[in-house]
Amino acid sequence: MKPSNEVPNEPAIESDGGLVCSPVASLAQDRSPVASLAQDRSPVASPAQVRLRLQIAYDGTDFSGWATQAGHRTVAGVLEDALATVFRTPLVLYAAGRTDSGVHATGQVAHVDVPADALGHAYPRTPRPQDPEFQPLVRRLCRFLPEDVRVLDIVRAPTGFDARFSALRRHYEYRLSTAVFGVIPQHARFITPWPRRLDVPAMAEASRVLVGLHDFAAFCRHRDGATTIRDLQRFDWHAEGDAVTAYVTADAFCWSMVRSLVGALLAVGEGRRDAAWCAGLLDASARSSAFAVAPARGLSLVGVDYPPDDQLEARILITRDLRTRPGAAEPTGCAEEQPVSRQEP
């Protein structure tokens, strides 16, 4: 569906996801046959494989999110089809952020383990030694990709690299237009129209009380066995004319967290709530119904940070160590995977 330039009266709540603990029992039903490969996931590639790191950008408007789902057009599904065509074998991508339907990315990172023998004959080599090793592979892959998804770069992943579990932090941006006419057509797929007056300084003040290591249960949809404790490292707002942008960074995000944070702060910007109300949300042990989740179209994953190569494997152990509230029962399940039909912010 093409994005409308109209302002929704009640922004729809859509599925997001995050780095949370959940069983993988539904994997076989949710993914194509290549999904069974994911169950044997290892933090390092086997000697017979080469792990590649991919930098990816996409317009999420016409995708049902990142994760492969039977009967749906997804970013991972399109990319895995292209990889399978090039390497002539089914492959599975693992991403730093499994973005939800309609969410975009300019700085997505993923990894894939490719059989070493397939790597040797899948694409022509460059005759110029100064060219990047996988430049011809990037060129060939993009021949099989639609215009709304691009592989920007491919490199050999260092030992211990895992696109998801090695990550230190994810960076998102949420863009709005407060212009009375909404959004100009050239930007309509990437900016949410919000033609209402927003008190951006009040939003910035309220955002600051949320920064830090907290339980963000009020901002996350419930997931059995999932932790909602996250380290929100940045939540800033910037206004320039009619353009308003939120900058949101955390070590990881729960299901629905980024757009929930934005939705709550829009209530502050419209004068319906204040900073004290935002601070009070951190005491909640369940998702709040006091605000709406912001629409997906304004959200983009713009970057992912990783530690130095010699700290990658140690970072994986930290990421998989689930956090709990003081006095709370330990989460059930594992930290490694979640049903792939669920997405991230």
pLDDT at 185 over 70: yes
Looking at the domain covering 169-307, what would its CATH class be?
A: alpha beta
- What is the residue type of 63? F
**Higher model confidence: residue 8 or residue 100?**
100
List, for residues 138-151, the tens digit of each pLDDT value: 999 999 999 999 99
- What is the residue type of 42? S
169-307 matches 27-156 in CATH topology: yes
* Distance, CA of 345 to CA of 302 (rounded, Å): 12
pLDDT for the residue 121? 81
User: Which residues participate in the annotated binding site?
Assistant: 172
* Distance, CA of 250 to CA of 263 (rounded, Å): 17
Average pLDDT score, the chain: 84
| Structural tokens at position 276 | 């004290």
| Structural tokens at position 289 | 């119904």
Q: How many helices (H) and strands (E) does the chain have?
A: 8, 10
DSSP 99: B
Domains of the chain by residue range: 27-156, 169-307
pTM score of the predicted model: 0.83
Token pair 């995977």: residue: 337
User: Which residues participate in the annotated binding site for substrate?
Assistant: 172
Active site residue 113: no
CATH code of the region 27-156? 3.30.70.580
pLDDT bin (cut points 50, 70, 90) of residue 319 is: confident
Among 30, 62, 81, 100, the active-site one is 100
> Above pLDDT 70, what percent of the chain?
80
Task: Assign 80 to helix, strand or coil.
Answer: helix
